[in-house]
Structure 1
Amino acid sequence: MLLVRSCVGSTGNCRELQKRSQCHKLCPLWPVLIAFIFMVLAIVAVGLVLGATAEFHSRAKTVVNIIIDTADDASEKIYNTTGAIRGIKDTLLVSGSKYTSTSLMTTSEKLDSEAANIQRQARNNRRLINKGLEIVYIVTTVTICLNLVAVIALSVSGFLRLPRLLYWLIALCWLLTVLCWIFFGFYFFLERFSSDTCTVLDDFQQDPNNNSLSSILPCDEFLSAKPILSGVSARIYDMVNKVNANISNLQATLFPNLMYVCNPFSPPPEYLYQPDKCPGNTIRIGDIPKVLKIFTCSDPNGGNCSGSQFISASNYKIVEAYTSSIQSLLNAYPGMESLIECQSVKDAFSQILTRHCRPLKRYARMAWASLMLLSVIMVFLVLIWTTKVIQDKKHRHSDGSVKPHLAELDLQEPGKTKGFQDNVGYGSV
C-alpha cells in the first residue's frame, strides 16, 4: 500500500516498484536451481546407501553363517563319534560285557548332551541374528527407497507449483530426514560392533577358553572330552596289541601267512593317531572281517564245518559289528581331535579375519557415511523448499493487498488515477 502511494506521488518510486516486480519473477529461479542440484545429490546418495547397506548385510550374513556352520559341524562330529560308540556298546551288550557297555553308555550320553547344547545354541543364534539382519536390511531399504520417491515428488511438485501437495511432502521429507539420521547412528554403531567382533575373533585365536564366544563354541567343554578320547585311544591300542599277539601264535602254528592288524595309535602315554604310519603287511581294523571270512563256518549249527573253519557264524557277526563300529570311531577320530584342540574353530575364525573382517568394516563405514551425506542433503533440500514456500506465500499475500487498493483508488480519485496511468503506464500493466 505504501509502495502504491509512493508510486502515485513520484515517477522514481514507480520505477523501483517495476524493478521489484521483475525481481519477484526472476529471483525464484535460484532456489529452484539449487533445489534441483540437491535433488541430484540426494539421488546419488541414495544409490550409495543402497549399495553399501546391501554389501554390508551380505558380508555380515556370511560371517554369521561361518560361525554357526562351524558350531553345527562341531556337533555333527560329536554325533558321529557317539554313533560309533553306541555301535560298540550295542555289540558288547550282545556279547554280554555289561560293565564296558555301561562305561561307553555314560561316555556317549555325555558327548550327546554337549553336542545337543551346541546345536541348540547355534540354531537359536542363527535364527535371531539372521532375523535381526533381515529386518534391519528391509526397513533400511524401504525407508531409503521411500526417501528417493519423496525427494523426486517434492521437486516435481515444487516445479509445478502445487502448494498443498508440497506442504505434505515437506512434512514427509522432514520425517524421512529424521529416520536417515537414526539409521546413520545405527550403522555407525554396527561399524564399531563389527570392529569389536573382529577383535573378539582375534582374541579367540589366542585364548579360546576365555572368550565371549564360548557360549556358541565352547572349546573348554571340548577340552573336557580329551580324557574320554584318550581312554578310547588306549583301549583300542591295547585291543589291537592283544589281537596281534594271538595272530603271532597262529602264525607260529597253523597260519604263517596271517597278516597283523594295524595299530593306528602310537605307544603310551601320547596315543597319537597316526594311521598313515602302518606297515604295508598289516590290515585295518575294519578289514578284519574280510580275513576272518575264510575261517568262519557257514553252517549255523556247526555240523558241516572243516578243520580250518573254527569261527562260528554268530561269533563272526559279533566281530564284524564290533570292528565296523571301531573303524567308524577311528574315521571320526580326526574330527574329534581337531575339536578338542579347537583347530576347526580357529580355522573358521582365521577365514573370517583374513577374508571378511576388513570388507565388513569398510562397507559398514560406507553405509553410515553415505547415510550422513544423505541426511545433510535432505536437511538443505527441505529447508530450500520450505523457504521457497514461505516466500511464495508472502508474495501471494502482497499481491492480494495491492490490487484491492488500486481498485479503491480508481473509484474514489479518478483524476489522480488517470494521472498515475499517464505517468507510469498503468493501463499497460
Structure 2
Amino acid sequence: MPKSYGGVLVPFVLLLISTNMVAQKSLVFGLIDGDDISRRPDPLHQLKSYNGTYNLGDKHYWASAAYTGIHGYAIAGIWLLFGLGFGSYILFKYFHGNSTPIVEYPPSSYILMFSLVVLFTILAIVASSVILAANNGFEHRVERLRQTIFDAGGDTRHTIRRVIKVLLNMQTLLSPYNSQADQMLNVTTHRLRRGSITIQQFVDKTRHTSNEAIRTLYVANIVVVTINLVLLVTALVLLVWHWPLGFIIIILCCWILTTLSWVLTGFDFFFHTFAEDTCSALEDFQQNPQNNSLQLILPCAESGTSDKILVQIGSTVHNFITQLNSKLREVQGLGSNDIGENSSGTRGVCDPFSGAPNYIFTADLCPKDTIPIGELKYVLSRVTCYGENSTGNCAGEGRFIPQASSVILFAYTQSIQDLIEIFPDLLSLTQCSKVKQAFANILQHQCRPFRRSARILWSSMLSLSIIMVLLVLTWIVKAHQETGRSFDTCSIIPKSA
C-alpha cells in the first residue's frame, strides 16, 4: 500500500473501531438499564439513578428512557467533530497550497475501491429499504397499541359517567326520605367524577404527546433515509462520470446524513426501550393491578375495599327484597290477587343476589314465578289509594296502600332497580374488567409484533449508520485515489494507468 494511501485510510479505520466500541459498550449498558428502569441514569437529575417506574406522566421517566439511546447520540457527536476536524485540515492544505504528490496505483486497486463503493452502496440501499418498511410497520403497531389503551380509558370513563347518571337519579329519589343514603351517594359521585377527570386528562395529554413523538420519529426516519437514498444513487452516477466537485459535495452531504442517522439510531433504540417498558408494565398490571404504575392513569379500586363494597350492596338489595317479599306474602294472604298470583302459585320479586355471606350477583337466574323489581310499580299503582278517592271506595276496589306510603315505596324500589341495573358496571369498574381485557388483547396479539417492529427499526437504522460510515470512508479514499487523474466516461481505471 502506498504511503499516502495508508495515511488517509488509517485515521478513519481507528475512528471506525472506536465508534463501534462505543456503540457496543453503550448497547450493553442500554440493555441492562432496560431490564431495570430504576437503575437508568436520569439526565434531569445529574445522571443519578431514575429510581422510578414506568410512568407516562413523569418527565424523568422519559428522560431516563431517552438516555438509553446515548450510544447513537455519542457516535453522532464523535462523527460530526471528526468531520469538522478533517474538513478543516483539507481546507488548510488547500489554501496553503500543500498538495499531496500524485502516486501511481495499480489497476487492481481502482477495481477494488470501486467494488467496495458499489458493495457498500447496495448494502446501504437494502438497509434503507428495510428501514422504510420497518418504520411503517412500527408506526402502525404503536398507533394500534395507543388506540387500544385510549379506548380502554374511554370505555372506563363512559362506564363511570353512566354510573354517575344513575346514582344522581337515585339521589334525587331518596334525598327526601333518607339523608344518610343521600350523603353516601353524594360522596360516591364526587369520587367517580374525580376518577373520570383523571382518566380524561391522561388520555388528552398522553394522546397529544405520544402522537407528536411518534409522528416526529416517523417523519424523521422517512426524510433522512429518503434523502440518503437519493444521494446514494447520485453518488454512483457522479462516480461513473468522474465529476470530482460533485462527488465531494455528495460526500459532505452524506457525512451530515450519517450524523443524523446515528442520532436516529439513538432515538430508535429509545423507542425500542419504550416498547419493552410498555409491554412489561402491561404484564405487571395483569398480575397486580393495584400495585402498578398504570394504576395512576387507569385507576382500579383496591380489591379488599371493592369486595366489601360489592358485598354491602348485595346485602342491602337482598335484605330489602327479602323484606318486600315477606310483606307481599302477607298481602297475598289477605286475598289480593293483584299483588301476584298466577296459575303456578304465588309470585314474589326476583332477588338477583344469593344469600350470605358472598351475595353473588346472578341476574339471569331468577325463578320463573318471580317478577323483576321494576315491574312492582305497576302492581303498586293498582293497589294505591290516591288522594281523590275516599277510604270507602279504596277499600271496595282493593286499594289498601296510602298514596304517601306508595310514593316512598316507589322511590325505594326504583332505586333498588337502578342499583341492580348498574351493578354489572360497578363490578366492571372495581375489577378493571375492560382495562384488563384491553391489556390482555395487547399482550396476546400486539406486544410481540410491537417489540419486533421496534427492534427491526432500531437494528436496521444501526446497520445503515455503520454501513454509511464505511461507505463515506471508502468514498474519501476513492476521491483521494482519483485526485489529479483523467478518466474516460464510465471507466474505472484512469488513462495514465
- Alpha-carbon distance between aligned partners in 1 of 2:387 and 2:247, rounded to the nearest angstrom: 96
Cα offset for 1:85? Answer: 1.2
- Alpha-carbon distance between aligned partners in 1 of 2:319 and 2:154, rounded to the nearest angstrom: 33
- Alpha-carbon distance between aligned partners in 2 of 1:327 and 1:146, rounded to the nearest angstrom: 66
1:83 aligns with 2:171: no
1:289 aligns with 2:361: no
Cα offset for 1:149? Answer: 1.7
Retained in 2: the 8 A contact 1:222–1:339? no
- Alpha-carbon distance between aligned partners in 1 of 2:434 and 2:444, rounded to the nearest angstrom: 15
Among candidates 251, 272, 281, match of residue 200 of structure 1: 281
- Alpha-carbon distance between aligned partners in 2 of 1:135 and 1:314, rounded to the nearest angstrom: 67
Structure 1 pair 121–162 and aligned structure 2 pair: CA distance change class (3 A): same
Retained in 2: the 8 A contact 1:302–1:312? no
1:74 aligns with 2:156: yes
Alignment of 1:6-405 (within 5 A): 28=110, 31-93=113-175, 95-220=176-301, 224-256=305-337, 258=340, 259-295=347-383, 301-302=388-389, 307-309=397-399, 323-395=413-485
Q: 1:101-147: per-residue Cα shift (whole Å, max 9, x none)?
A: 22221222222222322332233223322322222112222221122
- Alpha-carbon distance between aligned partners in 1 of 2:315 and 2:404, rounded to the nearest angstrom: 27
Q: 1:170-195: per-residue Cα shift (whole Å, max 9, x none)?
A: 11111111222222233233333323
Structure 1 pair 329–169 and aligned structure 2 pair: CA distance change class (3 A): farther
Letter paired with 2:172: D
Retained in 1: the 8 A contact 2:301–2:431? no
- Alpha-carbon distance between aligned partners in 1 of 2:140 and 2:428, rounded to the nearest angstrom: 29
RMSD of aligned alpha carbons: 3.1
Alignment of 1:414-429 (within 5 A): none
Q: 1:373-428: per-residue Cα shift (whole Å, max 9, x none)?
A: 212222232223222322332336xxxxxxxxxxxxxxxxxxxxxxxxxxxxxxxx
**After alignment, is 193-202 or 77-86 more displaced?**
193-202
Q: 1:344-377: per-residue Cα shift (whole Å, max 9, x none)?
A: 3333222222211211221122112211221222
- Alpha-carbon distance between aligned partners in 2 of 1:96 and 1:84, rounded to the nearest angstrom: 18
Letter paired with 1:378: M
Letter paired with 2:446: H
Retained in 1: the 8 A contact 2:258–2:469? yes
Q: 1:187-206: per-residue Cα shift (whole Å, max 9, x none)?
A: 23333332333223222222
DSSP-derived class of the 1:394 partner: coil
- Alpha-carbon distance between aligned partners in 2 of 1:28 and 1:317, rounded to the nearest angstrom: 102
Q: Which has the higher helix share?
A: 1
Structure 1 pair 231–134 and aligned structure 2 pair: CA distance change class (3 A): same
Q: Which runs of 5+ in 1 are unaligned?
A: 1-19, 397-429
Letter paired with 2:450: L
Structure 1 pair 332–159 and aligned structure 2 pair: CA distance change class (3 A): farther
- Alpha-carbon distance between aligned partners in 2 of 1:226 and 1:49, rounded to the nearest angstrom: 50
Structure 1 pair 307–134 and aligned structure 2 pair: CA distance change class (3 A): same
- Alpha-carbon distance between aligned partners in 2 of 1:172 and 1:315, rounded to the nearest angstrom: 88
Q: 1:238-293: per-residue Cα shift (whole Å, max 9, x none)?
A: 22222212211221113246131111112233222111221111111223234445
Cα offset for 1:321? Answer: 6.6
Retained in 2: the 8 A contact 1:285–1:323? yes
Greater gyration radius: 1
DSSP-derived class of the 1:395 partner: coil
Letter paired with 1:145: T
Report the number of matched residues.
374
Q: What is the aligned-residue identity percentage?
A: 33
- Alpha-carbon distance between aligned partners in 2 of 1:52 and 1:142, rounded to the nearest angstrom: 14
Cα offset for 1:315? Answer: 7.7
Task: Provide the residue aligned with 2:63 in structure 1.
Answer: none
Retained in 1: the 8 A contact 2:354–2:362? yes
Letter paired with 2:299: P
DSSP-derived class of the 1:278 partner: coil
Cα offset for 1:317? Answer: 7.4
TM-score relative to the length of structure 2: 0.67
Q: Which runs of 5+ in 2 are unaligned?
A: 1-102, 341-346, 487-497
DSSP-derived class of the 1:265 partner: coil
DSSP-derived class of the 2:364 partner: helix
Retained in 1: the 8 A contact 2:177–2:408? no
DSSP-derived class of the 1:118 partner: helix
Retained in 1: the 8 A contact 2:195–2:299? no
TM-score relative to the length of structure 1: 0.76
